[in-house]
């Protein structure tokens, strides 16, 4: 079956390059849809079942989004598609956490730096799709602050008037700060994040913690999901405050 | 002797002395209590009390004026001629007009008796007549003159033999002469000051000051009476010498007593007071009983002795507690004692000479009284303002010295014009020599040169900018450098504005830091207790605190502007040039070209990140370097061994961060491209700011001294040099190359 891919990128040369990266990465037949701006991208997504992708016959499986676009920021599109059943990847020139962290919060499953070599990009893309998203030390630092009880955006999070997605709950007692359980990191996840923020590679972390490297990857995936949950929770709070829900 | 413990404490609560005599005169706790105290009854009555005092003083002056104006006299100006004759210089009476320039030989009374007339008949300050016999002669003749002038009319016998009949009449208010008014005005000023000081804070020390001021104002009124021109009868000639003596004794005793209490209460204050009051009272009793031969000598001796005692008491007081006010008082006292000693010498010398010199010497004594009155008037205002104090003091001192010198020269026989010139020259020289001492030493000069102040201010400002909430510390240091106080405290309470406390012993400066509760800095004893804080200092401290806040605000605004501008440039570079380089890279014809462009793009990104950020923590930078290097080596299938150690998490400046980032990247690129190595070892060690970096590979590179340093390695050399370090390459044992870089100092610059 053909895998549908959407590449949102305003630079035609880069679009072509990313297309080659995608084709190289997967053995399945690929159908690439290209968009040069947000509006075109929205139209294509609308044709394949809309933001929730529920009624679509054949939604995109993979979406690559550039951040700086002629009619806005790629993050806007990500924010519109929290439920869309595709792997969403940010492709950008920005490698600082000030740009990448918000993108992750908006629901990006990973990010690729466009200046990387072709082979590196192929490898990274495969990892992300397999569920091994990268996590840079700077982002790990930001995540630690984000999930610290009482720190970062957690302080504003209310206790659960929003939809629980799935079971990340731990059996630990509820802390004084009333942070919802599903937003907390498990001790293992915190440990992984701490090592990441100190610049250790996944293999190094695995040997330090005495676990398999793919277990480390599972923790990272879980952290990613919690990040999205927390951002979605914030969106829900915002919506209820504005009387939208 | 000198002056009193007056305080400039008007409108200000009392320090804690009275309640805690053994402790320092200033105590923060008591101060807080005092500041919190509501306006008392006394404060509300203060204006009325002052008004009453002023009225009383005016009435007193009026009474004295009426008394003196009512004394009978032969109107006219009489001067001392050759051989002590009395010569008529001018007269408002028609019958005397014809005889101007003639000498008066005798006054003939209606009963036919004659009173011989010479310059001895003129009014003199009997207090300053050295010889007892001469004084009693003077008193006797003054009594005769008074009796003569009490007659309805008398006849003047002139030296040309002519007889003039005149009727003595009162001086009248208009005939009192200008000097009379000057002295009366000074006397009134002293009375007012005494009243003001006493009303401001009714306590023993201030009462003693008031006593001194009143005694001296009495002296001045007596002198005013003596200064009235015309041939008239003096007021109470037989008792005025004793009056003067009593007033001087009271002043001296009160001064010594006051110094024992202020600025610090001495342990032996009672004994000192007993001595100060006992001796003069005993002598006065003797003098009243006529049992005291050499009255003048006793008066001078005791007064001088009391002056020395006063200086000793102040010295002891200053040793007990270095209150700068004690120092000021001691200097005033020394000035008064020294000038009194000089006057005494001149008088004693003149007494043995011609009567003319004697009269002139009396003027010297008068000048001393004026100086003393000026000092007395100054004391309450010492901490109020520096300019006024020093100018008045300079004026009084120079005036006194000039007068005394002239008299001295006349007394030793130099002609009057030459004496004037000589004394003028000497006075100017003395003035030039004494000016620094008087201006800076007495109450302390200007704190510091403005140039140095600016430098200190700038340093403090940059410090505050780093930590705006801790304004108090750099401000405290700044004020310490300016005023050099003995101690500096930070009180945890707000105050509205800078103020001087405890007669210039302490200075309160409010501190309003951003993001911290308002506090107050308390500085005590300027210049280690040798200088008084003045109101000018308080204003200066306030301005400095203000300037500091403004400098910081300005600095922050400039920094914010620069940061915004840098970020804008970084954004533009990154977005525009970055996108173009990326396009070029995708379209590169050869892998070398692609790598070159990728490298350029990475450099551009480092550059723009450096522009956008201001500084980087070493620990954060290190993990990013490791990740960057690790990813690139992994992509090139090279093994990385990474060791990064540091003893202190430095803050790297933008220059340091971007230089090190690019050096590492360049060295790693070089290895990937040329070395054909299988592993790279990077060891970095930062100890006390000194960096040593080694990048080792096991590749094919050899003989680094023969390499031609292209853009890449030349760049490494340049950047390490930019950081003040050195870099060299050598062979790594049998295989590969070691690059060693040393940077001796990465510590942040202040």
The model's pLDDT over B618-634, given as tens digits with 9 standing for 90+, comes to 888 888 888 888 888 88
Q: Which residue has the higher pLDDT, B119 or A222?
A: A222
**Chain B, 591-630: which have a CB under 8 Å from a chain A CB?**
594, 598, 601-602, 605, 609, 620, 622-624, 626-627, 630
Number of residues that this document lists for chain A:
245
- Least CB-CB distance to B598: which of A115, A138, A198? A115
Q: Which residue has the higher pLDDT, A151 or B503?
A: B503
The model's pLDDT over B562-582, given as tens digits with 9 standing for 90+, comes to 888 888 888 888 888 998 999
pLDDT at position B15 is 38
Which residues in B lie closer than 8 A to residue A213 (C-beta atoms)?
none
Q: What is the distance between the alpha carbons of residues B661 and B623, in angstroms, rounded to a whole number? A: 11
Residue B684 has pLDDT above 90, yes or no: yes
The alpha-carbon gap from B624 to the nearest alpha carbon of chain A, in Å, equals 7
Region of A130 please: left (phi>0), alpha (psi -120 to 50) or beta: alpha
Q: What percent of chain A has pLDDT over 90?
A: 18
Number of residue pairs across A and B with CB atoms under 8 Å? 51
pLDDT at position B436 is 64
Check B627 against A137: CB less than 8 A apart: yes
Q: DSSP class of residue B81? A: -
Check A17 against B586: CB less than 8 A apart: yes
Q: What is the distance between the alpha carbons of residues B599 and B521, in angstroms, rounded to a whole number? A: 57
Listed residue (A60, A122, A61) closest to A91, CA to CA: A122
Count of C-beta atoms within a 10 Å radius of residue A71? 13
The model's pLDDT over B271-289, given as tens digits with 9 standing for 90+, comes to 989 998 998 898 888 888 8
Q: What's the burial of A68, exposed, middle or buried (CB within 10 Å: 0-12/13-18/19+)?
A: middle
Mean pLDDT over B462-476 rounds to 77
Lowest-confidence segment of A98-107, A210-219, B2-11, B700-709 by average pLDDT: B2-11
Q: What is the mean pLDDT of chain B?
A: 80
Residue B29 has pLDDT above 60, yes or no: no
Farthest-apart Cα atoms in chain B, separation: 146
The model's pLDDT over B58-100, given as tens digits with 9 standing for 90+, comes to 899 899 988 888 888 887 778 777 777 788 888 877 788 888 8
Write the DSSP assignment of B257-288 as a string of letters.
HHHHHSSS--TTHHHHHHHHHHHHHHHHHHHH
pLDDT at position B289 is 83
Mean pLDDT over B330-344 rounds to 86
Residue A151 has pLDDT above 80, yes or no: no
Mean pLDDT over A32-52 rounds to 84
pLDDT at position B361 is 63
| CA A89, chain centre distance (Å) | 7
pLDDT at position B681 is 93
One-letter-per-residue 3-state SS of B693-736: EEEEECCCCCCHHHCCCCHHHHHHHHHHHHCCCEEEEEECCCCC
Lowest-confidence segment of A38-52, A53-67, B28-42, B265-279 by average pLDDT: B28-42
Residue B717 has pLDDT above 80, yes or no: yes
Structure-token match 């060295």, residue found? B667
Q: Residue B111: phi, psi to the nearest 5?
A: -80, 5
Residue B641 has pLDDT above 50, yes or no: yes
SS3 B3: coil
Lowest-confidence segment of A126-135, A225-234, B447-456, B570-579 by average pLDDT: B447-456
The full set of domain ranges for chain A reads 3-130, 137-241
Q: DSSP class of residue B193? A: H
Residue A156 has pLDDT above 90, yes or no: no
Which chain B residue lies closest to A114 (C-alpha atoms)? B582
Q: What is the distance between the alpha carbons of residues B483 and B508, in angstroms, rounded to a whole number? A: 13
Would you place residue A90 in the very low, low, confident or very high pLDDT band (cuts 50, 70, 90)?
Answer: very high
Q: What percent of chain B has pLDDT over 70?
A: 85
Query: A128 is written with which tokens?
Result: 């992300």
Check B620 against A137: CB less than 8 A apart: yes
pLDDT at position B446 is 53
Check B583 against A199: CB less than 8 A apart: no
Would you place residue B306 in the very low, low, confident or very high pLDDT band (cuts 50, 70, 90)?
Answer: very high
- Cα A122–Cα A123–Cα A127 angle in degrees, nearest 5: 115
Q: What is the distance between the alpha carbons of residues A7 and A41, in angstroms, rounded to a whole number? A: 8
Give the C-alpha distances (Å, rounded to integers) separating B78 from B134, B142, B153: 21, 16, 19
Q: What is the distance between the alpha carbons of residues B306 and B276, in angstroms, rounded to a whole number? A: 7
Listed residue (A37, A43, A34) closest to A5, CA to CA: A34
Listed residue (A43, A41, A47, A83) closest to A64, CA to CA: A41
Query: B467 is written with which tokens?
Result: 């930590």
Residue B669 has pLDDT above 80, yes or no: yes
Contact B714, B667 (CB under 8 A): no
Cα radius of gyration (chain A): 18
Residue B419 has pLDDT above 60, yes or no: yes
Region of B101 please: left (phi>0), alpha (psi -120 to 50) or beta: left
Check A115 against B602: CB less than 8 A apart: yes
Check B623 against A197: CB less than 8 A apart: yes
Q: Residue B372: phi, psi to the nearest 5?
A: -65, -40
- Cα B308–Cα B309–Cα B315 angle in degrees, nearest 5: 90
The model's pLDDT over B132-180, given as tens digits with 9 standing for 90+, comes to 888 888 888 888 888 888 888 888 888 888 888 888 888 888 888 878 8
pLDDT at position A164 is 34
Strand order in the sheet with A62-65: A30-35, A3-8, A62-65, A87-92, A110-113
The model's pLDDT over B587-604, given as tens digits with 9 standing for 90+, comes to 989 988 888 898 888 888
pLDDT at position A45 is 86
Contact B509, B479 (CB under 8 A): yes
Chosen from A115, A119, A141, A195 to mutate, greatest number of chain B CBs within 10 A: A115
pLDDT at position B22 is 34
Would you place residue B322 in the very low, low, confident or very high pLDDT band (cuts 50, 70, 90)?
Answer: confident
The model's pLDDT over B257-268, given as tens digits with 9 standing for 90+, comes to 999 988 888 888
Would you place residue A161 in the very low, low, confident or very high pLDDT band (cuts 50, 70, 90)?
Answer: very low
Q: What is the mean pLDDT of chain A?
A: 77
Residue A157 has pLDDT above 60, yes or no: no
Q: What is the distance between the alpha carbons of residues B232 and B736, in angstroms, rounded to a whole number? A: 121
Which residues in A lie closer than 8 A to residue B602 (C-beta atoms)?
115
- Least CB-CB distance to B582: which of A115, A117, A120? A115
pLDDT at position A236 is 60
Write the DSSP assignment of B16-33 as a string of letters.
GGGT-TTS-S--HHHHHH
Domains of chain B by start residue, with CATH: 16-69+175-226+237-384 (1.20.1070), 72-170 (2.30.42), 452-553 (3.30.70), 615-750 (3.30.565.10)
Instruction: Name which CATH class applies to A137-241.
Output: mainly alpha
Contact B15, B203 (CB under 8 A): no
Q: What is the distance between the alpha carbons of residues B522 and B539, in angstroms, rounded to a whole number? A: 15
Residue B38 has pLDDT above 50, yes or no: no
Query: B534 is written with which tokens?
Result: 């003045």
Contact B650, B689 (CB under 8 A): yes
B588 touches chain A (CB under 8 A): no
Would you place residue B8 in the very low, low, confident or very high pLDDT band (cuts 50, 70, 90)?
Answer: very low
Q: What is the distance between the alpha carbons of residues B130 and B350, in angstroms, rounded to a whole number? A: 9
B631 touches chain A (CB under 8 A): yes
Residue B680 has pLDDT above 90, yes or no: yes
Residue A158 has pLDDT above 50, yes or no: no
Q: What is the distance between the alpha carbons of residues A227 and A108, in angstroms, rounded to a whole number? A: 10
Lowest-confidence segment of B225-229, B445-449, B561-565, B635-639 by average pLDDT: B445-449
Query: A209 is written with which tokens?
Result: 């913690």
SS3 B107: strand
**Under CATH, which number does the domain A3-130 receive?**
3.40.50.2300
pLDDT at position A182 is 56
Give the C-alpha distances (Å, rounded to integers) separating B205 from B7, B26, B298, B685, B745: 9, 16, 27, 71, 63
The model's pLDDT over B510-555, given as tens digits with 9 standing for 90+, comes to 887 766 778 888 888 887 777 778 788 888 888 888 888 787 788 7
Answer yes or no: same fold for A3-130 and A137-241: no
Which residues in A lie closer than 8 A to residue B575 (C-beta atoms)?
68
Listed residue (B312, B283, B278) closest to B300, CA to CA: B283
Which residues in B lie closer than 8 A to residue A68 (C-beta atoms)?
575
Query: B496 is written with which tokens?
Result: 């509205």
- Say if strands B169-170 and B231-232 run parallel, antiparallel, or are unpaired: unpaired
The predicted complex's ipTM stands at 0.76
Q: What is the distance between the alpha carbons of residues A126 and B228, in angstroms, rounded to a whole number? A: 119
Count of C-beta atoms within a 10 Å radius of residue A55? 9
Lowest-confidence segment of B308-312, B445-449, B564-568 by average pLDDT: B445-449
């Amino acid at each position: 079956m053909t895998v549908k891919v959407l590449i949102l990128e305003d630079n035609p040369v880069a679009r072509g390059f990313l297309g080659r990266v995608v084709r190289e990465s997967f053995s399945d037949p690929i159908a690439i849809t290209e968009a040069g701006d947000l509006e075109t991208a929205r139209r294509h997504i609308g044709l394949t079942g809309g933001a929730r992708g529920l009624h679509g016959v054949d939604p995109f499986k993979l979406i690559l989004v550039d951040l700086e676009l002629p009619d806005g920021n790629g993050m806007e599109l990500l924010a519109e598609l929290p439920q869309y059943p595709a792997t969403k990847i940010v492709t950008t020139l920005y490698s600082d956490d000030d740009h990448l962290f918000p993108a992750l919060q908006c629901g990006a499953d990973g990010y690729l730096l466009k200046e990387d070599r072709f082979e590196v990009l192929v490898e990274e893309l495969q990892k992300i799709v397999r569920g091994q998203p990268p996590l840079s030390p700077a982002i790990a630092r930001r995540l630690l602050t984000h999930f610290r009880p009482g720190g970062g955006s957690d302080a504003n999070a209310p206790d659960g008037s929003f939809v629980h997605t799935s079971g990340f709950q731990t059996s630990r007692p509820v802390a004084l700060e009333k942070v919802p359980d599903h937003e907390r990191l498990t001790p293992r996840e915190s440990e992984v994040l701490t090592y990441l923020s100190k610049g250790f590679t996944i293999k190094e972390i695995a040997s330090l913690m005495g676990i398999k490297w793919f277990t480390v990857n599972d923790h990272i995936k879980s952290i990613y999901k919690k990040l999205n949950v927390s951002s979605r929770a914030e969106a829900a709070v915002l919506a209820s405050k504005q009387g939208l829900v | 002797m000198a002056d009193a413990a007056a305080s400039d404490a008007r409108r200000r609560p009392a320090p804690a002395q009275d309640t805690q005599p053994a402790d320092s005169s200033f105590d923060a706790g008591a101060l807080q209590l005092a500041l919190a105290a509501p306006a008392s009854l006394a404060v509300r009555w203060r204006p009325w009390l002052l008004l009453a005092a002023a009225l009383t003083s005016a009435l007193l002056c009026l009474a004295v004026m009426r008394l003196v104006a009512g004394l009978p006299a032969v109107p006219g100006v009489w001067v001392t001629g050759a051989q002590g004759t009395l010569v008529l210089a001018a007269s408002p009476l028609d019958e005397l007009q014809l005889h101007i320039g003639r000498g008066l030989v005798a006054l003939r009374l209606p009963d036919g008796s004659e009173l011989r007339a010479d310059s001895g008949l003129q009014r003199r300050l009997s207090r300053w007549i050295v010889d007892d016999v001469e004084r009693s002669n003077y008193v006797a003749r003054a009594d005769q003159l008074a009796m003569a002038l009490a007659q309805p009319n008398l006849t003047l016998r002139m030296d040309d033999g002519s007889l003039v009949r005149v009727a003595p009449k009162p001086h009248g208010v208009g005939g009192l002469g200008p000097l009379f008014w000057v002295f009366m005005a000074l006397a009134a000023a002293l009375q007012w000051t005494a009243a003001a000081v006493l009303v401001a804070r009714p306590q023993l020390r201030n009462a003693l000051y008031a006593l001194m001021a009143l005694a001296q104002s009495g002296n001045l009124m007596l002198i005013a009476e003596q200064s009235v021109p015309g041939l008239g009868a003096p007021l109470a000639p037989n008792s005025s010498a004793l009056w003067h003596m009593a007033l001087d004794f009271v002043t001296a005793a009160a001064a010594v007593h006051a110094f024992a209490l202020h600025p610090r209460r001495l342990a032996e204050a009672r004994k000192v007071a007993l001595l100060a009051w006992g001796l003069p009272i005993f002598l006065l009793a003797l003098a009243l009983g006529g049992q005291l031969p050499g009255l003048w000598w006793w008066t001078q001796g005791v007064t001088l002795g009391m002056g020395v005692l006063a200086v000793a008491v102040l010295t002891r007081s200053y040793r007990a507690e270095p209150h700068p006010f004690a120092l000021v008082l001691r200097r005033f006292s020394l000035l008064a004692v020294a000038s009194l000693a000089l006057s005494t010498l001149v008088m004693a010398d003149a007494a043995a000479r011609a009567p003319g010199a004697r009269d002139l010497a009396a003027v010297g004594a008068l000048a001393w009284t004026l100086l003393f009155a000026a000092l007395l008037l100054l004391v309450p205002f010492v901490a109020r303002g520096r300019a006024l104090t020093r100018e008045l003091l300079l004026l009084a001192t120079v005036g006194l010295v000039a007068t005394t010198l002239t008299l001295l020269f006349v007394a030793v026989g130099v002609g009057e014009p030459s004496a004037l010139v000589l004394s003028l020259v000497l006075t100017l020289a003395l003035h030039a020599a004494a000016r620094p001492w008087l201006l800076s030493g007495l109450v302390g000069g200007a704190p510091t040169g403005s140039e140095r102040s600016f430098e200190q201010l700038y340093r403090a400002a940059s410090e505050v900018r780093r930590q705006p909430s801790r304004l108090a510390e750099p401000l405290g240091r700044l004020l310490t450098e300016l005023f050099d106080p003995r101690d500096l405290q930070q009180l945890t309470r707000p105050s509205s504005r800078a103020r001087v406390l405890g007669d210039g012993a302490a200075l309160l400066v409010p501190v309003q830091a951003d993001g911290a509760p308002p506090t107050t800095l308390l500085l005590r004893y300027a210049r280690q207790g040798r200088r008084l804080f003045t109101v000018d200092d308080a204003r200066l401290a306030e301005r400095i605190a203000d300037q500091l806040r403004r400098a910081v605000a300005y600095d922050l605004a400039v920094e914010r502007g620069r940061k915004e501008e840098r970020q804008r440039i970084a954004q533009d570079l990154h977005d525009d040039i970055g996108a173009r380089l990326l396009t070029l890279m995708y379209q590169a014809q050869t892998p070398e070209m692609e790598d070159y462009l990728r490298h350029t793009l990475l450099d551009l990104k480092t550059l723009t990140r450096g522009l956008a950020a201001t500084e980087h923590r070493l620990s954060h930078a290190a993990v990013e370097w490791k990740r960057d290097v690790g990813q690139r080596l992994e992509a090139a299938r090279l093994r990385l061994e990474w060791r990064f150690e540091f003893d202190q998490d430095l803050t790297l400046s933008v220059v340091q961060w971007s230089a090190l980032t690019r050096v590492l990247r360049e060295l790693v690129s070089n290895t990937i491209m040329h070395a054909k190595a299988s592993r790279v070892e990077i060891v970095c060690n930062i100890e006390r700011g000194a960096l040593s970096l080694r990048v080792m590979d096991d590749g094919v590179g050899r003989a680094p001294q023969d390499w031609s340093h292209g853009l890449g390695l030349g760049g490494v050399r340049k950047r390490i040099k930019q950081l003040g370090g050195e870099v060299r390459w050598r062979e790594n044992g049998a295989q590969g190359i070691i690059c060693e870089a040393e940077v001796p100092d990465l510590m942040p610059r202040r």
